[in-house]
Chain A
Amino acid sequence: MDEHDFTVLNRLTFGARPDERARFLEVGLKPWIEEQLDIQSIDDLDCSLRLAPFRSLEMEANELEAISNQLFENYDRESLPAELRLASLIRQVYSRRQLYEVMVGFWNDHLNIFTEKGNCFYLKTVDDRRVVRTHALGSFRELILASAHSPAMLVYLDNHVNHKGAPNENYARELMELHTLGVNGGYSQADVMELARCLTGWTVKDHFWLGDFEFNADLHDPGVKYVLGMEISDSGINEAEQVIDTLSTHPSTARFISSKLAWRFIADDPPEELIQKGARAFLDTEGDIKSVLRVILLDGVDFVQPKYKRPSDFVISALRMLHAQTDGRGPDESLRGMGQSLFGCPTPDGYPDNSAAWQGNLMPRWNFAFRLVRGEIEGTQIDMEHLLAYVPDDDLTVRFDALATLLLGVPIAEPFRSGLMELITSGGTNEEEMLQILAAGILVSPSFQWK
């Protein structure tokens, strides 16, 4: 597999494993993408079994509230977000639906929700399932509509307290700025205020089916509104739905989403031509996410530029490529230290997706690599003997090359290859420790920080 294919495959996955590389080489890029887009056709039993202990994933809001409500409204605000983080990590590592998981990560950034804000600690579990996972490869309009009806989003961006006579424009603004049109997408402060009026009364039930969405007509600001030059007649819940229809099929939105996908999969500052092609596919299909993705991926492969791994890319790719067994706990803790705890981004723009933002902090990566190969990451093991079972065990260089090929796609380059071998063999450690240092050496290398 050449460097380019390896890079491409590492954008489509959280770190390519040998079986994924083999399948990619066998069928080629386009059929591989089609296989991945047809998620129901991919058997994911191993991952499902690992998720079985996480009972909260399928619960409704009122059940989630009930299990975290201890005596006297003293809430356990830690357990549910932790379960959601661990389940997400396990899916990223073990799911065979890798492109889907990458897209779930993309939308969780795009529609960021911080689980420490108010009741998001239990509401996000429902949002992850009903909004992001349901629509990750579906229709963009459905995705945004579901998000607007998501209690977690309404709480996170304060719309649950956006009432007639007491407007709160937080969600209305971010819905246009961050979720659809983009900051230069052609809306004004007046549009924000008028959309906020349309959204008055979009709130969350506080008893009977507590935690579910509710449109409370009594809290809705009546009368005609004007958003983006459109006259929105007085029609209750339909007003904001009508605006969302317009927003989610707007040319500015098409461009914004296309551009963000190209940043994620292709390159920082992707070529204008590609953004336009993706935007056109978006408009032609009224926001069919798969169709836009096909264009970005197939037309974009020639423009792929190296991207610096975000902390989660770094951690998950190390775990995947070394076939680690993990229950997620230790990696979750490490990600917190690297500044990318899942669902832990306080600001609604989500974690940054550009190489420059993450390059200042190598040390926690070095710590993670060192502890991972030493078996010191909680709940996480690597079986080096099993990993190298088919590699002759009488020649350390061959084993080193095999390790490098797993992690970097190819053996490590000279003079680093012989330099490292010499350094490690002269150190007087036993063979197990030598392999550990070699594996850690590859994980800490500059190459492994890029994908």
Chain B
Amino acid sequence: MRVLVPVKRVVDYNVKIRIKSDQSGVDIAGLKMSMNPFDEIATEEAIRLKERGIASEIVAVSMGDAKCQETLRTALAMGADRAILVETTVELQPLAVAKLLQAIVERERPSLVLMGKQAIDDDSNQTAQMLAGLLGWPQATFASKIEIGDGTATVAREVDEGIETIRVRLPAVISVDLRLNEPRYASLPNIMKAKKKPLDTLTPEALGVDPTPRLQYVRVEEPPKRKAGVKLASVQELVAKLKTEAGVI
């Protein structure tokens, strides 16, 4: 079966972002960019399915400007077979991404879409659920364990109360959580090989999707800052402060 893995290019999780002085957005110029960590986990899971003989082909998809090719090359170096870039300079929001993915799913006919549960830049946690809705497919979000059976997937989900297990019919969209697996690093030979793997470029127009943003970011500002407090010398001092100064115990 074919597995589709959407991957997003985001500011590396170790990098501290800056807010533009005119509050128009986040200044990401010149910052180190990486594949969204949750998407790395999704890519890894797809590769493991292929290694176990369950998946036959892995197609990685990214969207945005031409630099997203780097993210796709990372997926190819990890083990994806081919890649598709939907190239656009329009700011892509989750609903637009879901519609573009829907169009790609209709062309590629995968049995499974494996994707990160959330991107660490806009923290929306929407795209997988939206894609499943648009396709009329089942969804299994926040997966921490995936077993593919005969036309179904049994998925353990990380929920607030603990772990929930559901079974979904295939084709389905599965969004992955942190503890599903530990993604591999691409080896140097595989990075070289990835350069020769096919990478097709499409546009929103070619896919018949209007990607215009629905939400307007009116202002982006620094969050209220906490001031560093005081370092205390003893447990007794701490208990006294919590009682009298803070009044919380």
Please determine whether chains A and B interact with each other in the same assembly: no
Interface residues of B, Cβ cutoff 8 Å to A? none
Query: Could you tell me which A residues sit within 8 Å of B by CB distance?
Result: none
